[in-house]
Amino acid sequence: MSLHLVDVTLTYPDGDGRLTALDDMSLEVPQGGLTAVVGPSGSGKSSLLAVAATLVAPDRGRVVVAGTDTGTLDRADRAALRRERIGIVFQQPNLLPSLTAAEQLRVMAHLAGRGHGERRAMELLDAVGLADLARRRPHQLSGGQRQRVNIARALMNDPAVLLVDEPTSALDHERGAAVLDLLAVLTRERGTATVLVTHDRAHLERADRTVTVRDGRLSAAGSG
Ligand SMILES: Nc1ncnc2c1ncn2[C@@H]1O[C@H](COP(=O)(O)OP(=O)(O)OP(=O)(O)O)[C@@H](O)[C@H]1O
């Protein structure tokens, strides 16, 4: 089990009190499987991703990534775990404008102290169908291509956990579907425990499992 949330509660300050964003939530995300998370606006989906990414510490409960209870780590070790074991794909690719596609990926290897990563960057760009565009900069790529670079970048350090937030919100239906197909294939091939937050019900058929968040609780689970 690469990602395991155990009895996680997360609250935010809210006036004089606290707002409960995640309410005693537990979730196991198996390796090599795509778990889709759906739910109404404000139900806690982004909070779930933020906690799983170790960007926000829960008030209570445990977040276990690749066998490590992240609550036991100090700040530096948690940052290292995030860099090396967790891949994050946000809605907007946030690529660096001056770098080529290959360089966007190689920066990740560099940050993790893994050398130049030249071969791996090319292998991943090939896996996402962009081998021929490795030397292009973001403005020379389409929205769908930029999102593919984003996904390849998230996989650069061979993460155990892949966290994906609305990856197709900036794409038309066809390009969005292609990105989802790619995520499903990469999840299986690379054995990541993938969590996909989505508003688009059409994406659910590609998921191995769908869970619904309502008021910070998981209210349903089933097969995709
Ligand atoms: N930084 C914050 N400070 C205070 N309250 C927050 C913060 N972030 C989220 N919330 C609140 O926590 C609850 C859960 O929000 P969250 O963003 O996780 O929901 P969501 O399901 O991702 O929503 P959406 O689909 O609109 O992105 C909401 O009531 C939201 O207003």
* pLDDT, tens only, 100-148: 999 999 999 988 888 888 999 999 999 999 999 999 999 999 999 999 9
Would you give the end-to-end CA distance of the chain in angstroms?
19
Say if ligand 1 is within 6 A of residue 212 CB: no
Strand, helix or coil for residue 179: helix
Ligand 1 centre from 73 Cα, in Å? 26
Site to probe by mutation for ligand 1, drawn from 46, 55, 199 as the one with most ligand atoms within 8 Å of Cβ, is 46
Q: Residue 39: phi, psi to the nearest 5?
A: 155, 160
Q: What is the pTM of this model?
A: 0.92
Say if ligand 1 is within 6 A of residue 39 CB: yes
pLDDT at residue 216 greater than cutoff 90: yes
Q: Which CATH number fits domain 3-94+161-223: 3.40.710.10, 3.40.140.10, 3.40.50.720, 3.40.50.300?
A: 3.40.50.300
What is the rounded CA–CA span in Å between residue 213 and residue 221?
A: 10
Cα separations (Å) of 158 from 74, 81, 97, 179? 22, 12, 24, 19
Q: Which atom of ligand 1 is nearest to the CA of 46?
A: 22
Strand, helix or coil for residue 204: helix
What confidence category does residue 1 fall into, taking pLDDT thresholds of 50, 70 and 90? Answer: low
